[in-house]
Amino acid sequence: MLAPIAPGHLPVLGNLYSMRTAPLATLTRALRENGDISRVEFPGGQRGHFLFHPDHVKTILVDHAKQVSKDTPGFAALRLLLGNGLVTSDGPVWLRQRRIAQPAFHRAKIFALGGRMVELTRRTADEWSVAAKAGTTIDVAESMMRLTLRVVADTMLGKDVERDAAGVGRAITYLLHNLNERIVRPWAPPVTWPTPNNRRFLEARDSVVRVVDEAIASRRAKPDAPGGEFLRMLIEARDEETGEAMNDQQLRDEVVTIFGAGHETTANLLAWTWSWLSRMPHVRRKMLAELDEVLGDRDATAEDYPKLPYTRAVLSESLRITPVVWLLSRRLLQDITVGEYTLPAGTLAFLSPYATHRHPGFWDNPEGFDPERFMEGATSNRPTLAYFPFGAGPRKCIGDTFALVEATLVLATLARRFELELPPGMVPVPEPVITMRPRGGLPMRVRERS
């Protein structure tokens, strides 16, 4: 028995056109019209399924984690930028790399970086103070991108990227759009063909890799230099089972992954959160009351992280309604039964935090912004995987704690001093490329709190 076909299906093109032109609308319409599972088809006979129920997410990402792979068009495109790092690798390669990298993401190590995260955030506060005094508008999305780039480069790599930040940010933005086009236009020429588009792609990629190579070379030359604990650990790490270190290509792939993906996702989380706080004054007031009570007139520290439950709930709700990672894909290595359907080996499974986080069976008023959903006691009747902004199972994002600690400290440090306002009538529009960001940036007016 076949699952119902997803909306937007066309002859020859299948669902490719609807997923290229209106992916978020296609996903939410499929959930509304077909329920928890829809069949999707693409040119060349490729077939997959949208799976929206939390139990389906668990089936694919947890119960059958070893029976699915990342051999999908989306991850094939990402490998052009990230190589075979933790995000894109599979099987024994991934397991070995995960074992090597895991100690660097221990909670205690991340909390130890909190002071430096706040110190770097103060640079952004200084920039915002100038804008506030001048009454000028700032692009908050771009500002958050520069800040999180500083943080990941400094704390993880031990490198100051102030000189390179703007150029790297533009390069990553271009690369993500280009990679997205390669996914939704499968007939595009391979990256090895010397077309103008490919040359620009390779130039942008090289500008990012160059920063990473400089950081690695600097660390190798001065292994005892302060900062960059993560990079030092990767260079010195040995697989506990084989005693092997990463080779140069593996090291580069992992560092590019952390450098590129590690800052871009947190920047978008913060940008969306600022937009929601502007649109929801009652939420902003409640968060500020918590910050004033806990922090007074001082900046946040890592020790404050557990003392700011409402601030963390604001970030969680932002990740629910505007998840930075809006779609995950896996290829089935064997037949897998999901609900009443058997999904054949070789087909694709698409899991969408964007759609599942709006599932009316598990979320009241799913389109409303309500951080109270994530306060203590409010989550007890909800399936765990009704919410999976960082994935789930053994392949859950290794950097989730780093991202949440960083976002909380950045938000607390800046919101204590500033209020941001969207232009009257502006509603940011999601742009779902590899990640989901505000289309065209996020212009906002910044005002210092009295």
DSSP codes of every residue in 67-110 = GEE--SHHHHHHHHHHTTSTTT--HHHHHHHHHHHGGGG-HHHH
Q: Has residue 20 been placed in a domain?
A: no
Distance CA 345, CA 49 (A): 12
Distance CA 433, CA 264 (A): 12
CA angle 401, 270, 440 (to 5 degrees): 140
pLDDT for 258 equals 83
pLDDT band for position 450 (cuts 50, 70, 90): confident
pLDDT band for position 208 (cuts 50, 70, 90): confident
Q: Is 417 exposed, middle or buried (0-12, 13-18, 19+ CB in 10 A)?
A: middle
Distance CA 412, CA 273 (A): 12
pLDDT band for position 335 (cuts 50, 70, 90): very high
Q: Has residue 2 been placed in a domain?
A: no
Listed in sequence order, the DSSP H helices in 185-280 are: 196-221, 229-236, 248-279
- Provide the sign of the torsion angle of the four alpha carbons 422, 425, 430, 431, taken in this order: negative
Q: Has residue 15 been placed in a domain?
A: no
Q: Has residue 17 been placed in a domain?
A: no
The 3-state DSSP class for residue 29 equals: helix
pLDDT surpasses 90 at 120: yes
Q: 243 to each of 92, 189, 237, how far by Cα in Å?
A: 15, 41, 9
Q: Has residue 417 been placed in a domain?
A: yes
pLDDT for 225 equals 77
Number of neighbours of residue 162 by Cβ within 10 angstroms:
13
pTM to 2 decimal places: 0.94
Length of the chain: 450
The 3-state DSSP class for residue 6 equals: coil
Mean pLDDT of 165-187: 81
pLDDT digits (tens, 9 = 90+) for 354-405: 999 999 999 999 999 999 999 987 777 899 999 999 999 999 999 999 999 9
CA angle 305, 310, 314 (to 5 degrees): 100
Q: Has residue 31 been placed in a domain?
A: no
Q: Has residue 398 been placed in a domain?
A: yes
CA angle 382, 388, 394 (to 5 degrees): 115
pLDDT digits (tens, 9 = 90+) for 32-50: 999 999 999 998 888 999 9
CATH number at residue 341: 1.10.630.10
pLDDT surpasses 80 at 416: yes
Q: Has residue 37 been placed in a domain?
A: no
Q: How many domains does the chain have?
A: 1
Quote the domain boundaries for residue 184.
52-448
Q: Residue type at 89? A: S
Q: Is 192 exposed, middle or buried (0-12, 13-18, 19+ CB in 10 A)?
A: exposed
